[in-house]
Amino acid sequence: MSKLRKLLSMVLVLMLVLPITGCYDLMELEGMAFIVSLGIDKAPENMIDVTARIAVPRKLSAGPGGGGGGGGKDEVVGGAKPVTVRAHTVLEALNLLNTSVERRVSLIHLANIVIGESLAKEGVLEYLRPLTRYREFRRTIVVFIAPGNVREIYESNKPLLEQSITRWTESLTDVNRHTGLSAMQKLHDFISSIEAYNEDAIASVLAVNEKVKEQTKQEKKGSEGQRIDADGKPNFNPGEVERLGGNPLEFLGTAVFHQDRLVTYLDGIDTRMLLTIRGELLRTQMDFPDPINKDRYVNLEIKHARKPIIKVDLKKRPIKVRIEESLEADLNGVQRPTDYSRPDRIRLLEKSVSERLKNRQEKLVSRIFHEYQADPFDIMKRTRNQFRTYQDLKSFDFRKVLKDAEITVDVKLNIRRIGIQLSPIESH
């Protein structure tokens, strides 16, 4: 009996002691370097340049009287200068980073990944596959595509408000959901679209505005009197917005992929058309030519009345694609003293705007289908119910039928409100 008691005592002691060893690999926060943004560029001989932006904790001192609530605490309020290493894989690059970073690098707080254009054109899956298996890597990060060099993107990024890169990424996501000028996509959706047989991926674009960058250099030298070019017009291309001041880095436009390769960019206006077709356009403001007053514009705030209806006839050759959209709008501004409270003029404006949206979308879808055989619109995704089995879906060469697909877009716009002032302001 005594032997049994001793055995049970030993088992009990082991059960109590063994869990204590669970913290043998504990790593304190003070010993970790958190990468908040990771960039990947193409390098010679099938290598890559990996650029990391590492968060820097700084002590926040409380002001007089103890205001500010946070004195003595550490908070990520900025980032160190980017560090770039050359390697064969991203994971190897993370190890090499620790040859110059005095803390163990970690991806657990990674907010975004920036892929250089040259690498994106050759294919991104080869470099994303190892990361998706890594335990510290999350698929909820945002994917950006950078025309040019990723390191230049990091060095040019000078946010006006946000200091935390994580908060900066969250703010961009929120802003772009309302402007519709860029299509933000999480890594999970990005990879899922690449893996699918009948859809293609999109990603937001980060581009440096060289004019603004040069203006910033001139201001540092003490030069004054910078002006927008006399013949400058509104420009919605990435990195080409006509402006003075602000962040040299622009978050505008969308990158379109064919499988895992970058094929083209969309400007801000075409990005809005893309989001409208996908049914992802939130309330956004757009200018349109005034149908009554030549060379003048009206501003509308547009949103979906309901999700677009997309019909695809795969039995005909060429295939027929029909997109039916129902949109609502508020009239925000009119430059001329035209009374748009009159029903006949509202109907005229609705018809004019609907025709412009229809023509722009038809041209966009036809161009992407015919030139690149890519489908970032989620149109062919709607045809899955036309296949009896998954093997039938895989065997159908949908890219071949995109080359000569016939596109028809029907836009129905209903202007429901004309602002808080009915009659226009007139001078006498």
Q: Work out the percent of the chain whose per-residue pLDDT is above 70.
A: 86
- 410 found inside a domain: yes
81 and 108 belong to one structural domain: yes
Number of domain units in the chain: 2
306 and 170 belong to one structural domain: no
Is residue 240's pLDDT more than 90?
A: no
- 67 found inside a domain: no
Q: Work out the percent of the chain whose per-residue pLDDT is above 90.
A: 46
- 23 found inside a domain: no
pLDDT tens, position by position, 142-167: 999 999 889 999 988 888 888 777 78
45 and 188 belong to one structural domain: yes
250 and 381 belong to one structural domain: no
Average pLDDT over residues 258-275: 95
Is residue 201's pLDDT more than 90?
A: yes
- 375 found inside a domain: yes
114 and 141 belong to one structural domain: yes
125 and 211 belong to one structural domain: yes
167 and 312 belong to one structural domain: no
37 and 168 belong to one structural domain: yes
Distance of alpha carbon 29 from alpha carbon 106, whole angstroms: 10
Residue 387 lies in domain: 284-428
pLDDT band at 47 (very low <50, low <70, confident <90, very high): very high
- 155 found inside a domain: yes
208 and 313 belong to one structural domain: no
Distance of alpha carbon 130 from alpha carbon 4, whole angstroms: 52
CATH of the domain at 348: 3.30.300.210
Query: What pLDDT, on the 0 to 100 scale, is given for residue 173?
Result: 83
242 and 320 belong to one structural domain: no
293 and 378 belong to one structural domain: yes
Distance of alpha carbon 143 from alpha carbon 426, whole angstroms: 49
294 and 246 belong to one structural domain: no
- 139 found inside a domain: yes
- 308 found inside a domain: yes
Is residue 78's pLDDT more than 60?
A: no
- 4 found inside a domain: no
pLDDT tens, position by position, 370-412: 999 999 999 998 898 889 998 988 889 899 999 999 999 999 9
